Amino acid sequence: MRIYGKVLKVFPEERILKIEYKNRLFCLYMTRKTFKDFGPYFYKKPYIFADIKLELKKYGQYYAYEIVNFIKVIEPSFREKRIYYDILTIKKDIKKLINKTKNKLFIDLEFTLPAYYQSIPHVAEIVQYGIIVENNEGEVLFQDSNLVKPLRKYGLNSRTLSFISRKREEFDNAIEYEEFYNLLESCIKKYKSKIIVWGKSDILTLEQSFILNKVKPLDLRKNHINLMQVIKNYYNLKEDLGLFNTYQEYTNSSLEEQTHDALEDAVITRKIYRLFKEKINSEK
């Protein structure tokens, strides 16, 4: 059910709003995450548009309907209307971002995990990468994958090796980090590509690897798209999305058990990007 009205009162401890809708007072409940994201807007007593669950529940001393998601939060004024949040504007901006992106570099990384009984602080290191570069027409310009030797040999512990389904001796022929770094830098410059990742872990680990290996940091923050976050924002979702689960949902198909292979995950990320682009461009 969609509801709209002016915020009359805020109860921060209970995470509840009181609004007037069609000459009736309604109490609306928010999860911690929702209140954290939208709470600062409510003290201006704006108008809200939101979808709510129809079931009335008791939260503390209040009976309220839970907010599923917000559609719009605005503050009307005599001079100009302040728009704090508008899902339609967000969708429009995301569609523009996806459509204007030409060359794309899809990358996925596997990294070391702390040992089961490790007592020293753990620093994740890259041990495998998968890279696919495509142009605006979807043609693959470059594709590569390899194992990478970590600086700290104990990073190749039994937990890490089990997670990526590799044997220690396979890393005898792995490339050095510097070779991976040069390859990534070359791809970014040569193809002038936008980096596409699933989640934030890969970018954070890459930035950490620059410091750890004492190389010049590549400017990734302004040159990447977190596809998972983009999809979450577009559909106003609260929970993180799994890569394989998202692909299965888009294709109505089932995949074999995930093997944590970097190239396979880069391939799936690329497929989801193309499916997402096709879907949002088909919406009116």
C-alpha torsion sign, points 163, 165, 169, 173? negative
Q: Which residues pair with 63 in a beta bridge?
A: 58
pLDDT recorded at residue 25: 94
Q: Would you state the pLDDT for residue 165? A: 92
Q: Residue 147 domain-assigned? A: yes
In a domain, 96, yes or no: no
Q: Is 165 inside a domain boundary?
A: yes
- Checking if the pLDDT of 44 tops 80, the result is yes
CA separation for the pair 146, 154 (Å, rounded): 19
Tell me, yes or no, whether 138 and 262 share the same domain: yes
Domain boundary among the residues 66, 89, 112 is at 89
**CA gap 89, 134 in Å, rounded:** 28
- Domain of 194, CATH number, reads 3.30.420.10
| 8 Å CB contact between 207 and 217 | yes
Instruction: Clarify whether residues 74 and 111 are in a common domain.
Output: no
Look up the pTM and report it. Answer: 0.88
Domain housing 204: 101-282
Based on the fold, state whether residues 133 and 256 are members of the same structural domain: yes
Q: Does pLDDT of 254 surpass 80?
A: no
CB atoms within 10 A of CB 111: 24
Let me know whether 115 and 232 are in one domain.
yes
What are the pLDDT digits (tens) for 99-139?
Answer: 999 999 999 999 999 988 877 788 999 999 999 999 999 99
Strand ranges of the sheet holding 224-226, from the earlier edge strand across to the other edge = 140-147, 126-134, 104-111, 194-197, 224-226
CATH number, domain at 53? 2.40.50
> Once rounded to an integer, what is the mean pLDDT over residues 181-207?
96
Residue 207 located in a structural domain? yes
Bigger pLDDT: 44 or 202? 202
pLDDT (0 to 100) of residue 256: 66
Q: How many domains does the chain have?
A: 2
Percent of the chain, pLDDT > 70? 98
Six-digit token string for 230: 């983009």
Tens-place pLDDT, residues 202-252: 999 999 999 999 999 999 988 999 999 999 999 988 889 999 999 999 998
Find the range with the poorest average confidence among 178-187, 193-202, 235-244: 235-244
Looking at residue 106, its pLDDT comes to 98
Specify whether 81 is located in the same domain as 122: no
pLDDT surpassing 90 at residue 43? no
User: What pLDDT is attached to residue 257?
Assistant: 59
pLDDT at residue 237, as a whole number: 87
- 115 C-beta neighbours (distance < 10 Å), count: 15
113, part of any domain: yes
